[in-house]
Structure 1
Amino acid sequence: MKNFNLSLQAQEKAKERIPGMTQLLSKRPDMFSQGVWPAYYSKASGSQVWDLDGNQYTDMSISAIGACVLGYNDPDVDGAVIKAIQNGVASSLNCYEEIQLAELLCEIHPWADMVRYARTGGEAMAVAVRIARASTGRDKIAFCGYHGWHDWYLAANLKTDNALEGHLIPGLEPAGVPSQLSGTALPFGYNKPEELEKILAQNKGEIAAVVMEPIRNIHPEDGFLNKVKELAKEAGAVFVFDEISAGFRICPGGSHLILGCEPDMAVFSKAIGNGYPMSAIIGKKSVMEAAQKTFISSTNWTERVGPAAALATIQKFIKNNVHEHLVDLGTRIQTGWQNAAEKTGLKVHCGGIPPLSHFNFEEEDPLSLKALHIQQMRDEGFLASNIYYSMFAHTFEEVDKYLEATTRSFETIAEAMEKGDVHERMEGRKSGTGFKRIT
């Protein structure tokens, strides 16, 4: 019988000292199953994670929210970081790695001329929006998809509670966002260019940027991305791709490279640093030079670890055609989920691009079923939810073992549904959804 005492005690301590328990909504234990999900780790290497109680798991879940595209504790990336640390993380001068990384990013994306850096995806998106506003002299942003926690984005939910419904996370509260920003962030639906046309018509000459993820859960319909680009150009708005999630997963670089649509700016984070804080805003010179019209500056954006990690990560990604392995893994996972569902008679919907796969139970009380699945998989030695983000460190042998365990879990769930004792089998709470306070 595994012991989880230290892991669960740590969560109680965290609730007392850290509002919301964690720094990231997607890592809160109630997003999985509070009382079951271990929440804290002592070490991680490759695809393996150890919790505070010493339990070892194969991580087939969120892979550090997609940040560790190569795997945990990657020797090549960590080696580059160690060298950077040994030579000094920061000084009164700038690190040369930031120039090398800028040249590499522009080489991969020939349409781009210039690069600015931050250390997280959300702040990089805020930088991109600031540059777009400075470039155009306008205030309003039309957007599609999820783009972080900053005021410019959450302003969409001022005076309403459902503007961000359908943009990944519903129910995000805009408390603390100035009410004067109401009406400055205007959402349109993916594959619905007519909604963007309406926004542009109603806000002529006022839209600074059109911001969107080029791909996430579904593929763009023929002509959709270039239609958005055309509409943005006609409106005099900067066209921005948020590649924070999709970038460096289906090709070496932004997903837009194989989707056939070039933006004015693109934002990267997550995968480019393999877990180290790093983000980049790349773009055309005509737009990027507007960064000098405004004040965008931070001491910690000049440290050396982030660029060193990004250079090593991207170089390894290209050398090993990592994207091919990520796609193959995700494709096998989605097929395995579907097979397990068919075998057990559960109604399950699978989706997402292969490296960012997910499934949902289409049964009564799906969040309790998800929690029971997490519990079953934990007891089988897997960190697993209804999401799978592939890593280069994952092997097909691990995938096969994971899918065998998934089938057993689905069998248990089907049996529990038939007997009507799902809740009696659950050790923790049902999974949360969206943005909720921990009480």
Structure 2
Amino acid sequence: MGKGQELYKKAKTFIPGGTMLLSKRPEMFLPDLWPSYYSKSKGCQVWDLDDKMYYDMSLMGVGTNTLGYADARVDSAVRGVVDNGNMTTLNCPEEVYLAEKLIEINPWADMVRFSRSGGEANAIAIRIARAASGKDNVAICGYHGWHDWYLSVNLNDQGEDLSGHLLAGLDVNGVPHNLKNSVYPFMYNDYDELVNIVENHDIGVIKMEVIRNFGPEDNFLQKVRDLASTKGIVLIFDECTSGFRETYGGIFKKYGVEPDLTVFGKTIANGYALTAVVGKRAIMEAAQNTFISSTFWTERIGPTAALAALDAIQEEKSYEQITAIGNNVRTKWSKLASLHNLKISIAGIPALSTYSFESKNALLYKTFITQEMLKKGFLASTNFYACIKHSDDVIDHYFDELEVVYSKIAKVEHGIIDANTLLSGAVCHGGFKRLN
């Protein structure tokens, strides 16, 4: 057993669930065998506590580091402000510079509020939008964090819960029951469902991811925009995950549809804690009529990192690079599956690609890939979040090793060997999913 698993066993005695993020729990990858913790990282490489190096062909910080780990430009800017002090009684000027930069990128908007996590930023956006609309009820599509306002959807009657958006059966323990029927989910591209919710539930806010597993059909986004405008509803596009992955800004720019508010996270500071709510003045000013405030939203590292990251993203056109890299990987997955007569389904935008085997053994195969690729020096599963440091050489090496794994999976799928012989341990847990 490596040092990572030893530490994880200790962690579970001190930390409920073992980790702060569901998506980073070792059981989601390879129970009892996943290295769990890192000692250092650079580019697309990660070293564990036993100083073994892996190429990260999986989550890349859960999608935070599109410039690669430890980008010199971003880290240098951060070191500079650390030397001059990260927090004082006075405010850091970088938050003003960053707000100005984000308005420059989003000329339809006028004002910005910052926080340090995606869930916080989405909660801020909801508070502002509810204050601006004067209405409590929200229609949502997609994943928007862990806070009470969002998880309260699972208090609704079956069929109006999060089962079609995330993992089925998420517990609502601790969520006030009087929030029931204040947030209503609708399925992506189902405009009629949204209209029905708006007409019957006095909706003041529509909050949605612009794209997740597939794109808009039949002018869907423009129809949502027009509906919101006609009904006086605040429209929020959640770009925490999709922002700066296909455009220099929100992915909504691809479709020519602008929201009233948008939320940026993940990529914006290349791994440092910074998220932003960007919006129109008439909506954002409602923040003055409620209470939204937190000490550590004023620290200096986050906005400094974001300023440097945004400059690097613009200079590199990283969003174009990671899209091309993601498309290359998807093509190679498809060819590899076809070569071995395996059926897979690929989803997500190119830079955030995932796939699943069309088989009753899908979860077992996913675990087997992780197990075998780990031996070859890769953090790998059935997903790939691209960064600009994923070179052709790294990708070719990854596929050379993955071909061997697929070959064995094919033998199981075609009845040549027993599936029960594949794993050294338990099957991984069903992962966190965006189903919508």
Q: Which TM-score band applies after superposition, normalised by the shorter structure?
A: over 0.9
Equivalent position of 1:190 in the other structure: 188
SS in 1 for 2:89: coil
**TM score, norm. by length of structure 2:** 0.96
Could you tell me how far 1:420 is from its partner in structure 2?
4.2
Query: Distance in 2 between the 1:315 and 1:246 partners?
Result: 18
**Residues 1:63 and 2:71 are matched in the alignment:** no
Identity of aligned residues (%): 46
Could you tell me how far 1:434 is from its partner in structure 2?
4.8
**Residues 1:10 and 2:7 are matched in the alignment:** yes
Query: Distance in 2 between the 1:63 and 1:169 partners?
Result: 22
* 1:274 counterpart (253, 270, 292): 270
SS in 2 for 1:165: helix
Could you tell me how far 1:56 is from its partner in structure 2?
0.8
Letter of the 2:78 partner, please give it. Answer: V
What pairs with 1:265-344 in structure 2 (closer than 5 Å)?
Answer: 265-344=261-340
Could you tell me how far 1:414 is from its partner in structure 2?
1.6
Could you tell me how far 1:266 is from its partner in structure 2?
0.1
Query: Distance in 2 between the 1:42 and 1:429 partners?
Result: 26
Equivalent position of 2:372 in the other structure: 376
SS in 1 for 2:63: coil
Equivalent position of 2:360 in the other structure: 364
Letter of the 2:281 partner, please give it. Answer: K
**Range with bigger deviation, 227-236 or 17-26:** 227-236
Q: Retained in 1: the 8 A contact 2:131–2:286?
A: yes
Equivalent position of 1:424 in the other structure: 421
- Consecutive unaligned residues of structure 2, counting only runs of 5 or more, are none
* Residue deviations 1:288-341 (CA, integer Å, cap 9, x gap): 000000000000000000000000001100011111110110000000100110
* Residue deviations 1:95-148 (CA, integer Å, cap 9, x gap): 111111111111111101000000000010000000011111111110000111
* Residue deviations 1:264-292 (CA, integer Å, cap 9, x gap): 00000110011111000000000000000
Equivalent position of 1:47 in the other structure: 44
- Consecutive unaligned residues of structure 1, counting only runs of 5 or more, are none
Where do 4+ consecutive residues of structure 1 move more than 2 Å? 159-162, 168-171, 415-425
Equivalent position of 2:91 in the other structure: 94
Letter of the 2:80 partner, please give it. Answer: K
Equivalent position of 1:35 in the other structure: 32
SS in 2 for 1:65: helix
SS in 1 for 2:162: coil
Equivalent position of 1:174 in the other structure: 172
Equivalent position of 2:148 in the other structure: 151
Equivalent position of 2:382 in the other structure: 386
* 2:397 counterpart (397, 401, 404): 401
SS in 2 for 1:277: coil
**Residues 1:112 and 2:109 are matched in the alignment:** yes
Q: Retained in 2: the 8 A contact 1:334–1:354?
A: yes
SS in 2 for 1:123: helix
Query: Distance in 2 between the 1:86 and 1:349 partners?
Result: 49
* Residue deviations 1:342-368 (CA, integer Å, cap 9, x gap): 111111111211100011011122111
* 1:132 counterpart (114, 122, 129): 129
Query: Distance in 2 between the 1:415 and 1:161 partners?
Result: 41
Q: Retained in 2: the 8 A contact 1:246–1:255?
A: yes
* 1:21 counterpart (13, 18, 29): 18
**Residues 1:210 and 2:200 are matched in the alignment:** no
Query: Distance in 1 between the 2:143 and 2:431 partners?
Result: 12
Could you tell me how far 1:166 is from its partner in structure 2?
2.5
* 1:223 counterpart (219, 225, 228): 219
* Residue deviations 1:65-96 (CA, integer Å, cap 9, x gap): 10111111111000011011111101111111
Give the length in aligned residue pairs.
Answer: 431
Letter of the 2:175 partner, please give it. Answer: V
Query: Distance in 2 between the 1:211 and 1:28 partners?
Result: 28
* Residue deviations 1:228-281 (CA, integer Å, cap 9, x gap): 111122222100000001000001111111121100000001100111110000
- Cα RMSD (Å) of the superposition? 1.4
Q: Retained in 1: the 8 A contact 2:156–2:181?
A: no
Could you tell me how far 1:36 is from its partner in structure 2?
2.6
Distance 1:108 1:435, change over 3 A: closer
Letter of the 1:414 partner, please give it. Answer: A
Equivalent position of 1:414 in the other structure: 410
Query: Distance in 2 between the 1:268 and 1:176 partners?
Result: 28
Equivalent position of 2:199 in the other structure: 201
SS in 1 for 2:236: strand
